[in-house]
Structure 1
Amino acid sequence: MSARIEKGSNVLWVDFLANGNRLADPQEQLKLVNQAKAAHITHLIVDAKIPYGHVTFASSTAAPHVSEWSGGRFSAWAGRDFLRELTGKAHEAGLTVVANIDVFAEGTIRSRDGLAYDRKDWQVTYYQPAAEGEAQAFIKAEDGHEDSIFVNPLHPEVRAHQLAIIHEIAGNYPVDGIVLDRCRYPNVYGDFGDLSRERFEAHIGAEVERWPEDIFTRGSGEGKERIHHGALFPEWTKWRAMNIKQFVQEAKAAFKTLRPDALFCIYVGSWYPLYYEEGVNWASATYEAGLDWASPTYHESGYADELDFLMTGCYYPEVYKEEAANNGRPAFWYSVEGGIEMSAAAVNGQIPFIASLYLQDYENNPDQFAKAVAMCRERSHGVMLFDVCYLEYYQWWGLLPALLK
């Protein structure tokens, strides 16, 4: 039987980029787990692979270790294993540990680090639709604007690399589960490389006569109006989501073969009506949203049913739907309450979900933070707090025991 998440779970994310240098001190690690335990945290999420492809543990794969970052940013971790060190201390404190794996991101533009620079054929190709008087263009991810260099989820070497990391963690580390993050395309403009075109044309059984204008072209506005959907857009959108679903199924098999009783979960944003842009349908396959861009069979690409639980980012400063409306937000789900309602509808009762908060949204407003936590705990299976660094910055550790009991 698959592992389950219990109602009332309190999850705290430990982001390596924000906390790695502080937590190089073993005493700071002990302080963290003891504070978490005293605050009624039940689960720690510990970064195993960061958004730039580096791993925090002793890996035999091609993934670079965090200590290899240019400029020596994390040189304090040379010869050390963050995942093992923090997992051991967390377990001693009685906490459940879930290892985070940032999947389809393998480099950073800012420092030009990461495996994507060695494996350039892995990189996503972005489509830049033509503006008036200009020609359309295609650029590799390292020449784009996204700091994380995304790689093509369809590339067989990319998939094999991610699965090898998952298999390695499952076999060598006593974590209680894994969570996949960035298990997606970067945005609506990627990937439009040759491999994606070849696979999509094989999928539809025909050549795309006007590539990629038959999928979409540039619009004249913002938001939904910034692109115009072509005739193939609904099928393209489902196909991208099916690519991610198939990888999720492969990742689950790689993990559960070795750890059948451990938790397998994913983090996504709660803004479901827009999440097709990332090539993801995180809903249950039983959920038919009826959105105007979706094909009649889009629901088949939903992957929630593969998970033990889902974490959805309700990353909004407004807690209540009424607040969102009063502040001119374009939809009810631009609020913690609305994001939770959207999440509940999409998973359709098939799996537990945990509403998640970005603590920086509540800087200098601990009362609003308290309301957001209460909303998450009341309406979902608990709360996930991102990230522990803000508890340090805002000195909010003292707030948590009363909020999470």
Structure 2
Amino acid sequence: MEQSNILWVDFLANGNRLLKKEKMEELINNAVKANITHIVIDAKIPYGFSTFPSKYAYHVSEMKDEQYHGWKDRDFLQEFIDIAKGTELKIIANVDIFAEGNGLTREGIVYDRPHWQVVHYDQALSNMPTAAENKYDPTVFVNPIHPEVEAHELNIIKEVIGKYEVDGIVLDRCRYPNIFGDFSNLSRTEFEKYTGHVIENWPEDIFTVHNMKPNFGPLFPKWAEWRAKNIKNFVHKAKNIVKHVNSDLIFSIYVGSWYPLYYNEGVNWASKMYHPSLAWTSEDYHTSAYAEEFDFIMTGCYYPEVYIEEAIQNNRPANWYSVEGAIEMSNEAIQGQIPVIASLYLKDYTNNVGQFRKAVELCKERTSGVMLFDTVYVEDYKWWNDLEDILLKYSK
């Protein structure tokens, strides 16, 4: 795979500004000028709403937030495809998978189908976080192994690639919300089938919670393996759907780069060639790895520190709490089996264009490209010229 420069367009962050078509056109023109090769466009957002008219999901214009009501009877995805025609930009549709509601506004399909919702370890526990990366994230997750959930998510993927001339699909939030979910009766039954025996102390044999932190029990390594295999099974089905329609369609995913902590998300995004030896991994954990299912993987190297030495100076707990360290971790886990594209959270470089430039350059030098999240920051910080300058240097 040639070097790729990927720009993400998050609907929630950009939808209001992009109500005007000329703003969409301006974005596409700026992206082409800056040597962007791929644009990721939200087809389904974290709360389960679609940006296009769907048979299966509510439309974004039906959200309670009035700023999105201007999208009524419009198709965000198709409009981007139309405007990008005639350019060399590849359009990848993003589908947020196991995220189907907004817990603050209490809206989304999960409120129609509460039996889909993730059951947390102890739902009586106050202040239970809903997402591993941010306890204040209102996203409501659904149980990945519920048959109705699986069918729903696969139907939306089929719908997108069946209706739209996209160049590929990227999966996001294709995971569990965090370590505390899912502990439903369905998950217990299926895990007992997997292990071949009844769990005497449920859920304490998996882990106990003290001060909102888990203490791993004797079954946790097997539990981590099983959860990761559940996600791998879904990914395999999604890939078959995409490649059956067109084997040339891109099939990719976004994950966080913090592999040693990814038991939170219940995902093993490494190559099956990688045999990690961590406190929470089983001997067979590598069998749950799914990297080989994808054409490339985008790993979030979301740190303000670019180099490892900066992380050390700032007393970060590990070297991989830096862009450089995260890239090293990503490359180690993927084992060269598929291209890795390091991804940056541009808000980490607010008021520091020099650090932004260093980060982009490092991603370009050490991986198969860079993914920039999100467009809104390039706009707000007026970084288009800087981006063009950096990416032009690597296009020669």
Normalised to the residue count of structure 1, the TM-score between the two structures is 0.93
Give the count of matched residue pairs: 389
Residue in structure 1 matched with residue 355 of structure 2 by the alignment:
368
- Give matches, 1:140-289, under 5 Å: 146-219=137-210, 226-289=213-276
**CA positional deviation for 1:219:** 3.5
Q: String of CA shifts for 1:340-391, please: whole Å, max 9, x gaps.
A: 0000000101000100000000000000000000000000001000000001
Q: Say whether 1:400 aligns with 2:354.
A: no
1:34 to 7, 29, 35: 29
2:333 to 346, 349, 370: 346
Stretch of structure 1 that moved more, 232-241 or 284-293: 284-293
Q: Say whether 1:128 aligns with 2:131.
A: no
Q: Which amino acid aligns with 2:380?
A: Y
Distance 1:156 1:137, change over 3 A: farther
Structure 2 SS opposite 1:171? helix
Distance 1:271 1:159, change over 3 A: same
**CA positional deviation for 1:32:** 0.4
Residue in structure 1 matched with residue 289 of structure 2 by the alignment:
302
Residue in structure 1 matched with residue 74 of structure 2 by the alignment:
80
**CA positional deviation for 1:202:** 1.2
Structure 2 SS opposite 1:199? helix
Q: Structure 1 residue runs of 4+, over 4 Å off?
A: 135-142
The answer as to whether partners of 1:305 and 1:351 remain within 8 angstroms in 2 is yes
The answer as to whether partners of 2:292 and 2:337 remain within 8 angstroms in 1 is yes
The answer as to whether partners of 1:125 and 1:139 remain within 8 angstroms in 2 is no
**CA positional deviation for 1:92:** 2.5
- Once residues 368 and 185 of structure 2 are traced to their aligned partners in structure 1, the CA distance between those partners, rounded to angstroms, is 42
The answer as to whether partners of 2:129 and 2:136 remain within 8 angstroms in 1 is no
Structure 2 SS opposite 1:44? strand
The answer as to whether partners of 1:353 and 1:380 remain within 8 angstroms in 2 is yes
The answer as to whether partners of 2:130 and 2:138 remain within 8 angstroms in 1 is no
Q: Which amino acid aligns with 2:253?
A: I
Normalised to the residue count of structure 2, the TM-score between the two structures is 0.95
Structure 2 SS opposite 1:174? coil
Between the aligned residues of both structures, percent identity stands at: 56
Structure 1 SS opposite 2:121? strand
CA RMSD of aligned residues (A): 1.8
Structure 2 SS opposite 1:343? helix
- Once residues 357 and 146 of structure 1 are traced to their aligned partners in structure 2, the CA distance between those partners, rounded to angstroms, is 19
Structure 2 SS opposite 1:280? coil
- Once residues 352 and 85 of structure 2 are traced to their aligned partners in structure 1, the CA distance between those partners, rounded to angstroms, is 32
Residue in structure 2 matched with residue 132 of structure 1 by the alignment:
none
**CA positional deviation for 1:93:** 2.5
2:309 to 309, 314, 322: 322
Stretch of structure 1 that moved more, 114-123 or 288-297: 288-297
The answer as to whether partners of 1:124 and 1:140 remain within 8 angstroms in 2 is no
Q: String of CA shifts for 1:49-78, please: whole Å, max 9, x gaps.
A: 0000000012122x1000111243311111
The answer as to whether partners of 1:324 and 1:335 remain within 8 angstroms in 2 is yes
**CA positional deviation for 1:140:** 11
Distance 1:39 1:138, change over 3 A: closer
Distance 1:29 1:316, change over 3 A: same
Residue in structure 2 matched with residue 23 of structure 1 by the alignment:
18
Structure 1 SS opposite 2:39? strand
Distance 1:141 1:301, change over 3 A: same
Unaligned runs of 5+ in 2: none
Residue in structure 2 matched with residue 43 of structure 1 by the alignment:
38
**CA positional deviation for 1:128:** 3.0
The answer as to whether partners of 1:48 and 1:57 remain within 8 angstroms in 2 is yes
**CA positional deviation for 1:322:** 0.6
- Once residues 258 and 389 of structure 1 are traced to their aligned partners in structure 2, the CA distance between those partners, rounded to angstroms, is 32
- Once residues 278 and 249 of structure 2 are traced to their aligned partners in structure 1, the CA distance between those partners, rounded to angstroms, is 34
- Once residues 326 and 34 of structure 1 are traced to their aligned partners in structure 2, the CA distance between those partners, rounded to angstroms, is 40
Structure 2 SS opposite 1:399? helix
The answer as to whether partners of 2:130 and 2:178 remain within 8 angstroms in 1 is no
Q: String of CA shifts for 1:239-270, please: whole Å, max 9, x gaps.
A: 00000000000110111111211100000000
1:60 to 55, 60, 63: 55
Q: String of CA shifts for 1:224-248, please: whole Å, max 9, x gaps.
A: xx32111111100100000000000
**CA positional deviation for 1:91:** 2.8
The answer as to whether partners of 1:126 and 1:140 remain within 8 angstroms in 2 is no
**CA positional deviation for 1:136:** 6.9
